[in-house]
Amino acid sequence: MARFHSLNVKPWSVDEARTFLKSARNREDLMYPAYDLVLVLGLRLGEALGLRWDDVDLDQAEMTIG
């Protein structure tokens, strides 16, 4: 059976996340909208990568995830 080693992961603080987003926005990073979704809404990688335009309703300001 495969063994998995736990990683010692320390989540970013709110200030660290803000600094990262500000830097990405200032550099006009094309991935900024994805970073914003992941950090602000707490999306998992698979949820963010699985989004399609069909999932977004700009008129209602809603997004379907799942």
Whose tokens are 């990568």? That residue is 49
pLDDT single digits (tens) 7-64: 888 999 999 999 999 999 999 999 999 999 899 988 888 998 899 999 999 999 999 9
Give a yes or no: residue 6 inside a domain.
Answer: no
**CA dist., res. 9 & res. 7, Å (int):** 6
53 within domain boundaries? yes
Q: Alpha helix locations (H) across the chain?
A: 14-26, 32-41, 45-49
Domain containing 21: what range?
14-63
Q: How many domains does the chain have?
A: 1
pTM of the model: 0.70
- Torsional sign, CA 7, 8, 13, 17: negative
